[in-house]
Structure 1
């Protein structure tokens, strides 16, 4: 597989229900599976408005874009041609509303804190961050949104099994449960996902990552 195709497979696709409400984010393979089975269509931003394509039409449009806009898309190579990776697809037969819950897991905590140590305030790669109990478990602290924060190794060691006050350390921001999925903000930071913004209305920020 070419590097270009591998890069394309690493992209994310926003999924809308049939009423154009954002419901989740999925991988490219899953998106193409839905398109090939005629369970979804591509929604493409074109000169400020959105156009809809079934899979066959999208393949045809891709040939034109490959020729004239090769740098404007991520690509997947088939045996005979390239297909542009869609940014948004719409499910044709699914009308359920998006979930309103944000899962309490490591990925969402890192996203909420935006990979920033909540003690020194510096950004770090995920591999250099850990999760810290603000009130340590030894002192009765629970694993909750309000008591878990990202911390770099240095700050985590310095704090040890103490509260921030005992350690003479201040929190960068008081932890709380997100009202929406912070992973959406992470994606919107990339130019390739800016076409999502219109569909991510405040009432539908709870996009579940699958």
Structure 2
């Protein structure tokens, strides 16, 4: 049936849950329906796609791990220099490690082997290779999950509740 985006009372995204859990929260009065897709569970009860909790929930900040998988997802599995999309992508340090560049969201991008070798031990400016998008740290861990759904063409109504998409 689908997944449901759960918003805090302040309309910030909290997580993605199953439609069954969302319906339970609605029936118990702990949440209200914000969006639905036109499908009905039964007459007069539309299937929710976005719900909002009635009471604010404090969520501790959670650091997003800097992993190859997360970097590939952030960069849409494409070379940030030439736009190549494929499986044989590498990770490139914008400012090379030998020049003091560290491992951070703002300094690592995905690159095809050809561009990575061409850039070598230089900065993009020195190699005359411009980045398509400046690398940045994602807003939240939920960002990854939501963008997967949006890229598949599902749940486009979530777009207005998530910053940076």
Q: Which bin holds the TM-score, normalised by the shorter protein?
A: 0.5 to 0.7
The residue that corresponds to 1:149 in the other structure is: 109
Contact 2:92 2:109 in 1 (8 A): yes
Matched, 1:171 2:150: no
The residue that corresponds to 1:192 in the other structure is: 154
Give the counterpart of 1:135 among 80, 83, 95.
Answer: 95
Note closer, same or farther for the CA distance 1:158–1:167 as it changes in structure 2 (3 Å cut).
farther
Note closer, same or farther for the CA distance 1:43–1:166 as it changes in structure 2 (3 Å cut).
closer
Gaps of 5+ in 1: 1-7, 48-57, 66-83
What count of residue pairs does the alignment treat as equivalent?
A: 157
Contact 1:104 1:145 in 2 (8 A): no
Matched, 1:44 2:35: yes
The 5 A counterparts of 1:86-101 are 86-96=48-58
Distance of 2:60 and 2:91 partners within structure 1: 28
- Matched residue SS, 2:41: helix
Larger RCO (CA under 8 A, 6+ residues apart): 1
Distance of 2:111 and 2:37 partners within structure 1: 42
Note closer, same or farther for the CA distance 1:12–1:116 as it changes in structure 2 (3 Å cut).
farther
Cα deviation for residue 137 of structure 1 reads 1.9
Deviation digits for residues 41-92 of structure 1 (CA, Å, limit 9, x no counterpart): 5433367xxxxxxxxxx9xx32459xxxxxxxxxxxxxxxxxx6x4222223
The residue that corresponds to 2:71 in the other structure is: 109
Distance of 2:60 and 2:160 partners within structure 1: 16
RMSD: 4.1
Note closer, same or farther for the CA distance 1:178–1:137 as it changes in structure 2 (3 Å cut).
closer
Q: TM-score, normalised by structure 2?
A: 0.63
Distance of 2:58 and 2:49 partners within structure 1: 21
Flag the structure with higher helix content.
Answer: 1
Contact 1:102 1:178 in 2 (8 A): no
Contact 1:15 1:89 in 2 (8 A): yes
Distance of 1:18 and 1:164 partners within structure 2: 45
Gaps of 5+ in 2: none
